[in-house]
Amino acid sequence: MGSSGGIQIPNRLPLLLSHEGVLLPGSTVRFSVDSPRNMQLVSQRLLKGTSLKSTIIGVIPNTRDPGQDIDDLPALHKIGTAGVAVQVVGSNWPKPHYTLLITGLCRFSVTSLLKERPFVLAEVEQLDKLEQYMTPSTHSVSAEDGELGELSQRFYQAAVQLLGMLDMSVPVVAKFRRLLDSLPRETLPDVVASMIRTSNKEKLQVLDAVSLEERFKKALPLLNKQIEGLKLLQKTRKINPDNEKRVLSVRKGGVFPGRQFNLEDEDEDEDGDDTASLERKVHNANMPDAALKVCRKELKRLKKMPQSMPEYALTRNYLDLMVELPWSKSTKDCLDIRAARTLLDNDHYAMDKLKKRVVEYLAVRQLKTSLKGPILCFVGPPGVGKTSVGRSVARTLGREFHRIALGGVCDQSDIRGHRRTYVGSMPGRIINGLKTVGVNNPVFLLDEVDKLGKSLQGDPAAALLEVLDPEQNHSFTDHYLNVAFDLSQVLFIATANTTATIPPALLDRMEVLQVPGYTQEEKVEIAHRHLIPNQLEQHGLTPQQLHIPQDTTQAIISSYTREAGVRSLERKIGAICRAVAVKVAEGQRLAKTNTVTENSTQHKDKAAPPEMPIVIDHIALKDILGQPLFELEVSERLTLPGVALGLAWTPLGGEIMFVEASRTEGEGQLTLTGQLGDVMKESAHLAISWLRANAKTYQITNMVGGSDPLEGTDIHLHFPAGAVTKDGPSAGVTIVTCLASLFSGRLVRSDVAMTGEITLRGLVLPVGGIKDKVLAAHRAGVRRVILPKRNEKDLEELPANVRADLDFVMAANLDEVLNASIDGGFPGPSGSLTHSQLTSKL
């Protein structure tokens, strides 16, 4: 063999590792590539090259598992086929890949590997003469005598016999006939082996047959087998001559010769052919009859389609999804209630009520396996561990976990998929999730159900309802799949920041479990038990390398975060870990006293082991995280009359809210700014009306000395943080306090915050969200909180240490509010004697 003279392929070739097909010289095969090395080869070589030479690559059959391409190069097959890439098509869907059309030129063997990255480059030796595939027939082989001549003659005759059995009116068959006579005989084994129906294994044998004689010997039985198969088929179908045309089905489009004849019903032994393997997968997928029927129909269509048709890819993708779905694959539940309790406790600090309810829920599920219970919905501010509890539930059950983010979803096809007639159609998130987890009984966390949108494309909430309804979800039909999938084994858990915006029909299906925010102390515990160890591990650090003392954690919480949950606390700890990781990596100790606490043994100096923990004290904290983001701003801001501190509830937890008022000479106008809702505006009007009515009693005067606050005076009320819309009645008491302070010129106590709705007659009505509001006040360093008297029962929910730290004033009317809030009391109708009772230290 060897390449004595004639046309040469380059002796260095980039190698395409083919997982799916075998390229033989003289045929054209379509390859779909998506592994990293092959992708690099296409993008860096084929798409960048300009010369003809750069389109020549080597195709090496890779018999190993495609997944292994990522790391080590698998042991390569020794023989491959050099080919010209005649077409490159790239696509990004469903994942990035290229489709290459390659025409085989000649065999080569790999002599040495030059490099493995970014793609494989090898030194090769050409094994076949290249001319033979390009010049017309010289009948060189038949001229020789002996065994080879005889073999080639037999082969030629068998090919003629095969042709005789096929329908000449089909263009491909006619072309085959022409080629058979015009091609040199020595090319026939390769060309015929790639045209008739052969498995990859059989093609590989032909490829490996370097000597011509052996090649004829390997290919002849394949040709004969095809003839026999065809004979058999014709015999059975003789009754119906129409069937004969179906015997021949054209599969692969392409250039020279590049066609294959397939016997439709004879694919049991074809492990290489991809529709056949797809067919096998369909049968092994264990799908219900309805789905199987659809798949069979689609398979049939697929086989009749040329691969170049766009619809081929669509149908193919559909079938790939169908066989991948976990129709009957599930994990086995392993529920041990006591273990579940321990696991939840180990993973989460505090949140006792929630954990208790979750354990109950699991226990009921264990006793009664049918799943028709309500769906749990965890409601609370961000970062309080809702997702994390969901994940633990999956873990206790031994189930797979998958989170489906619903925030901003406003199209029902996001849930239920697009119909397949639609360009770029896809299955919805539920089906996609099932495909990802690969079992039909995962825990699905429907995250942020309160943020579902609505649009012209249908209401996603309605689609979700169908998913969650136990009466319907055993036959959930995704538009893309168009056959029912049984969701009844899926355990759904929902999360939300507020119930207010959850569509009512959906809310009705769910059992709401409130997850309130954490107190400072709880956060410190969570940080030390969970967040710090987790972050250390994620950054590859050990407690021997980094130590964060408790008071540092406290400082992080109060000066660098303002939140109900612990998410930014976790991020700040992450930032510290990153900073320390750099130091550790540099092999340095954080030098000098200012960053190391006194008790650390810096004097030992070089003798100190490198594992000395780096201790984060306040100075180190400032160095890493910068200036504190939040001061205890309360006391500073309340140094002028006309400012009061209210408490607000938002879906992100409780917050403190300043109310500012000013007055100027004018015509009695009230201006409100700060993005207020209607209810809030009404509260402001109510407050002014009440003050006008009671101006005499409280000796309030306006700018011109009269007793009507609005006479000759313009009033401006502002609620800072103007970008946030504020609404609700609970700012009533704050507005009254703020205005009373403005009109009287007396300061509001700097350590007081309040909440409560007011009536025209000066009563204080109860409001919601007390726990979150009080926690926010506590966070902000407030000492006294004024609450509606009828909210007294809510105080029981507060953690003991918060109750101990705060004075609570339970006010039934505005008089009591003003007395408790204005510095030095506020002389009212009954004089300054009837101070509200101080329910201190509950």
The smaller minimum CB distance to ligand ADP, of residues 199 and 387, is found at 387
The side-by-side arrangement of strands in the sheet containing 491-496 is: 401-405, 443-447, 491-496, 375-379, 510-514
Q: Is 566 in the site for ligand ADP (CB under 6 A)?
A: yes
Q: Which stretch binds ligand ADP (CB under 6 A): 78-86, 460-468, 560-568, 795-803?
A: 560-568
Q: Is 382 in the site for ligand ADP (CB under 6 A)?
A: yes
Beta strand extents in 332-456 (DSSP E only): 375-379, 401-405, 443-447
Q: Is 321 in the site for ligand ADP (CB under 6 A)?
A: no
Taking CA atoms, 746 is separated from 644, 703, 818, in Å, by: 11, 15, 11
Give the one residue of 127, 158, 193, 350 binding ligand ADP; rule: CB under 6 A.
Answer: 350
Closest CA relative to residue 486, chosen from 414, 426, 419, 434: 434
- Active-site annotation holds for 773: yes
- Give me the helix-helix angle, 310-324 and 429-437, nearest 10°: 60
The smaller minimum CB distance to ligand ADP, of residues 61 and 565, is found at 565
In which residue are the tokens 């619903």 written? 406
Q: Which two tokens stand for residue 338?
A: 């006591």
Catalytic-labelled residue, pool 773, 789, 821, 836? 773
Q: Is 349 in the site for ligand ADP (CB under 6 A)?
A: yes
The smaller minimum CB distance to ligand ADP, of residues 382 and 646, is found at 382
| Cα torsion through 178, 183, 188, 191, rounded to 10 | -70
Give the one residue of 60, 526, 556, 614 binding ligand ADP; rule: CB under 6 A.
Answer: 526
Q: What's the min distance (Å) between Cβ of 379 and ligand ADP?
A: 10
| Coil, strand or helix at 421 | coil
Give the one residue of 570, 655, 794, 815 binding ligand ADP; rule: CB under 6 A.
Answer: 570
Taking CA atoms, 795 is separated from 15, 788, 804, in Å, by: 73, 11, 11
Q: What's the min distance (Å) between Cβ of 392 and ligand ADP?
A: 9
The smaller minimum CB distance to ligand ADP, of residues 515 and 733, is found at 515
Q: Which stretch binds ligand ADP (CB under 6 A): 158-166, 240-248, 268-276, 385-393?
A: 385-393
688 vs 421: CA distance, rounded Å:
62
Q: Is 514 in the site for ligand ADP (CB under 6 A)?
A: no
The smaller minimum CB distance to ligand ADP, of residues 387 and 499, is found at 387
The smaller minimum CB distance to ligand ADP, of residues 351 and 577, is found at 351
Q: What's the min distance (Å) between Cβ of 571 and ligand ADP?
A: 10
Torsions phi, psi of 61, nearest 5?
-65, 130
Q: Is 572 in the site for ligand ADP (CB under 6 A)?
A: no
The smaller minimum CB distance to ligand ADP, of residues 25 and 380, is found at 380
Give the one residue of 13, 195, 314, 384 binding ligand ADP; rule: CB under 6 A.
Answer: 384
Q: What's the min distance (Å) between Cβ of 769 and ligand ADP?
A: 17
- Give the count of residues interacting with ligand ADP (CB under 6 A): 18
Q: What's the min distance (Å) between Cβ of 389 and ligand ADP?
A: 7
Q: What's the min distance (Å) between Cβ of 778 and ligand ADP?
A: 18
Q: What's the min distance (Å) between Cβ of 172 and ligand ADP?
A: 60
310 vs 94: CA distance, rounded Å:
14
479 vs 420: CA distance, rounded Å:
7
The smaller minimum CB distance to ligand ADP, of residues 349 and 560, is found at 349
- Active-site annotation holds for 683: no
Q: Is 383 in the site for ligand ADP (CB under 6 A)?
A: yes
Q: Which stretch binds ligand ADP (CB under 6 A): 69-77, 377-385, 423-431, 681-689?
A: 377-385
Q: What's the min distance (Å) between Cβ of 369 and ligand ADP?
A: 28
Q: What residues contact 430, with CB distance under 8 A and at least 6 apart?
A: 404, 415, 416, 444, 467, 476, 478, 487
Q: What's the min distance (Å) between Cβ of 658 and ligand ADP?
A: 27
**Chain centroid, CA 700 distance in Å:** 60
Q: Which two tokens stand for residue 532?
A: 């710090």
| Coil, strand or helix at 446 | strand
Q: What's the min distance (Å) between Cβ of 646 and ligand ADP?
A: 26
Catalytic-labelled residue, pool 392, 413, 730, 744? 730
Q: What residues contact 533, with CB distance under 8 A and at least 6 apart?
A: 543
Task: Give buried/exposed letters for 793-818 (b at 16+ CB in 10 A, else e).
Answer: ebbeebbeebbebbbbbbbbbbbbbb
The smaller minimum CB distance to ligand ADP, of residues 413 and 495, is found at 495
Give the one residue of 19, 107, 386, 778 binding ligand ADP; rule: CB under 6 A.
Answer: 386
In which residue are the tokens 């011509």 written? 212
Q: Which two tokens stand for residue 377?
A: 């919905």
Contact between 28 and 257 (Cβ < 8 Å): yes
- Beta strand 510-514 with 491-496 is unpaired
Q: Which stretch binds ligand ADP (CB under 6 A): 64-72, 99-107, 182-190, 566-574?
A: 566-574
Q: Is 358 in the site for ligand ADP (CB under 6 A)?
A: no
Q: Which two tokens stand for residue 822?
A: 């204005």
Q: Which two tokens stand for residue 502?
A: 């959850």
Q: What's the min distance (Å) between Cβ of 351 and ligand ADP?
A: 5
Q: Which stretch binds ligand ADP (CB under 6 A): 33-41, 427-435, 564-572, 740-748?
A: 564-572
Task: Give, as ranges, the residues between 728 and 767 that touch ligand ADP (CB under 6 A).
Answer: none
Task: Give, as ranges, the residues between 472 and 501 that touch ligand ADP (CB under 6 A).
Answer: 495
| Cα torsion through 540, 543, 545, 547, rounded to 10 | 120
Closest CA relative to residue 498, chosen from 363, 329, 377: 377
Give the one residue of 317, 388, 602, 635 binding ligand ADP; rule: CB under 6 A.
Answer: 388
Q: Which stretch binds ligand ADP (CB under 6 A): 212-220, 312-320, 382-390, 812-820?
A: 382-390
- Beta strand 261-262 with 614-615 is unpaired
842 vs 498: CA distance, rounded Å:
29
Q: What's the min distance (Å) between Cβ of 430 and ligand ADP?
A: 20
Q: Which two tokens stand for residue 441?
A: 């009984």
Q: Is 348 in the site for ligand ADP (CB under 6 A)?
A: yes
Q: Is 445 in the site for ligand ADP (CB under 6 A)?
A: no
The smaller minimum CB distance to ligand ADP, of residues 184 and 382, is found at 382
Contact between 552 and 618 (Cβ < 8 Å): yes
Taking CB positions, which residue lies at the least distance from ligand ADP? 385
Give the one residue of 197, 523, 530, 718 binding ligand ADP; rule: CB under 6 A.
Answer: 530
- Beta strand 670-673 with 643-650 is unpaired
The smaller minimum CB distance to ligand ADP, of residues 351 and 753, is found at 351
Q: Which stretch binds ligand ADP (CB under 6 A): 32-40, 134-142, 344-352, 407-415?
A: 344-352
Q: Which stretch binds ligand ADP (CB under 6 A): 285-293, 315-323, 348-356, 457-465?
A: 348-356
**Chain centroid, CA 826 distance in Å:** 57
Contact between 509 and 374 (Cβ < 8 Å): yes
778 vs 564: CA distance, rounded Å:
11
The smaller minimum CB distance to ligand ADP, of residues 386 and 420, is found at 386
Q: What's the min distance (Å) between Cβ of 514 and ligand ADP?
A: 12
585 vs 672: CA distance, rounded Å:
56
Task: Give buried/exposed letters for 448-479 (b at 16+ CB in 10 A, else e).
Answer: bbbbbeeeeebbbbebbbbbbbeeebeebebb
Contact between 59 and 49 (Cβ < 8 Å): no
Give the one residue of 40, 161, 387, 597 binding ligand ADP; rule: CB under 6 A.
Answer: 387
The smaller minimum CB distance to ligand ADP, of residues 203 and 348, is found at 348
Q: Is 567 in the site for ligand ADP (CB under 6 A)?
A: yes
Active centre residues (catalytic): 730, 773
- Give contact residues for ligand ADP (rule: CB under 6 A): 348-351, 382-388, 495, 526, 530, 565-567, 570
